[in-house]
Amino acid sequence: MSTRFQTLVAEAKARITEIDLDAYRRQAASPHPPLLIDVRDAGEFSAGRPPRALHLSRGTLEGKIEAVVPDLHTPVVLICAGGNRSALAAESLQRLGYTRVASLIGGFGAWQQAGLPVEKSA
């Protein structure tokens, strides 16, 4: 990972909300769980993906988010492979006016390490 990219990600993380898996699990168990959006590319799904996560790749997120999440106050948690692209995506959604956006720390790697459920394509 280049130094410039690392700086970009660090700056984004300073401006967004990041949550860990424990916080996500508490929110997911609440009466109004956040919408989990997986921003990885479809080619990254060979290891699986979180159940019920919507897929909007990082490359199409800004162009498609309004159709999928029209309410700017909907709680949204973004997940990628390791937490970097989801941080950049969270910052981008904030710029679009979304008010309750978070990036999952550690991304899908942390999800798998915690032994959380994974859906695999048939």
Phi, psi torsion values for 42, nearest 5 degrees: -55, -35
Q: For the chain, list the domains and their CATH numbers.
A: 3-113 (3.40.250.10)
- The predicted model scores a pTM of 0.95
Compute the distance between CA of residue 112 and CA of residue 120 in angstroms, rounded to an integer: 12
Instruction: Please write the tens of the pLDDT for every residue from 11-61.
Output: 999 999 999 999 999 999 999 999 999 999 989 988 899 999 999 999 999
| pLDDT value, residue 121 | 75
80 labelled catalytic: yes
In this predicted structure, the answer to whether residue 74 has a pLDDT above a threshold of 90 is: yes
Beta strands in the chain, from DSSP E residues, in sequence order: 17-19, 35-38, 54-55, 76-79, 101-104
Contact indicator for 57, 49 with CB cutoff of 8 Å: no
Catalytic residue among 12, 16, 56, 80: 80
Mean pLDDT for the stretch of residues 69-88:
98
- What per-residue confidence (pLDDT) applies to 122? 59
